[in-house]
């Protein structure tokens, strides 16, 4: 059965995945998702925990640092509003 859901993109370019979508993918807070853009469209996947940062220590550190900066920027933006 096909089901259609939509969500709003907020000013900070974030969105909330509808609960039925999160449930269908088994996504919970803190999980990572992957977007694949191709000529066929965009696909959206949950990243399995064991593959979230692969085994590359430098990549994991860089991604964690980027996530921290993004969180800090979100906090600063909220204070400006």
Q: Where are the domains of the chain?
A: 1-47, 52-81
Please tell me the distance from the alpha carbon of residue 40 to that of residue 8, in angstroms, as a whole number.
23
Confidence of residue 17 (pLDDT cuts 50, 70, 90): very high
CATH code of domain 1-47? 2.10.260.10
- Predicted TM-score of the model (pTM): 0.54
Q: Provide the percentage of residues in the chain whose pLDDT is more than 90.
A: 30
| Residue 35 backbone phi and psi in degrees, to 5 | -110, 130
pLDDT for the residue numbered 66: 83
User: Whose CA is closest to 33, among 20, 49, 19?
Assistant: 49
**More confident of the two residues 48 and 21:** 21
């Amino acid at each position: 059965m096909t089901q259609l859901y939509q969500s709003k993109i907020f000013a900070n370019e974030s969105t909330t995945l509808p609960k039925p979508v999160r449930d269908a993918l088994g996504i919970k807070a803190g999980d990572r998702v992957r977007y694949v853009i191709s000529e066929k469209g965009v696909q959206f996947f949950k990243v399995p925990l064991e593959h979230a940062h692969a085994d590359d220590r430098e990549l994991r550190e860089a991604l964690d640092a980027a996530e921290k900066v993004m969180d800090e920027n979100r906090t600063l933006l909220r204070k400006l509003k």
